[in-house]
Amino acid sequence: MQLKSNKILIILSISILLFCLIAVLESTGLTKHFDKSILLSFRQSGDNSIPAGPVWLLDFMTDISFLGSVTVIILITLFVSVFFIIKKNLTLLWVILFAAIGGGALDLILKEIFARPRPEVVPHLVNASTWSFPSGHSVMSAVVYISLAVIFIPANLNNRLKKYILTSAIILSLLIGISRIYLGVHYPTDVLGGWILGAIWSCISVVFASRIIKKPLAEATDG
């Protein structure tokens, strides 16, 4: 599915401005009350070590969170890369590697720049290391799942199915980010920043793809 370049530029510009705004607000501590209140809303009022909701919700959120983990993202990138190697489509191989490796590197660099500690407002329900801002799970789920949706949507597919595939990728990314807040390992602004950064890099990856492929992504996939 081809996205018009002007739409991509608009999304990219808005996303960069929003990310800068969140980064400034977070760095100055202006999001502290917002972050704390959201984190506490996911816990029982009498004991913030117990997550809110039914018992099964914790397992659900843990499983959803795993879909954005380093292990899963690496495996998906590896499997897709081998697929393109078998099809001898080195162009799209470089596109997916550019998206995944570039997005991961950007996330790590920004984590070191902001060096935000993990939340201490509530106990963590899963193990988490590295710095908190931006959320790596949110960044990489947006980058990989959305980029793959754009790459693999056939050109001859009807618009409803195209929108369904892309919307499914976006919803999955949103659920992964929410799971990180629910599990207490990220502030809401970490996740918001991660989603936006993922959108930024996804747009850049699509622009990169369109420049080097010079034909619809779906046609390149069939090559």
pLDDT digits (tens, 9 = 90+) for 76-110: 999 999 998 998 888 888 888 989 999 999 999 99
Out of 43, 111, 116, 186, pick the active-site residue: 186
Q: In the numeric block, which tokens belong to residue 7? A: 């739409």
Q: Which domain holds residue 195?
A: 5-222
pLDDT in the model for residue 203: 83
The ranges of the chain with pLDDT < 70 are: 1-5, 154-155, 209-223
Average pLDDT of the chain? 88
Report the domain count for the chain: 1
Buried-exposed string 175-205: b where 16+ CB fall within 10 A, e elsewhere: bbbbbbbbbbbbbbbbbbbbbbbbbbbbbbb
Q: What percent of the chain has pLDDT over 90?
A: 65
Out of 43, 111, 116, 137, pick the active-site residue: 137
Please say if 124 is a catalytic residue: no
First-to-final CA distance of the chain: 15
Strand partners, 44: 47
| 157: exposed, middle or buried (Cβ count in 10 Å: 0-12, 13-18, 19+) | middle
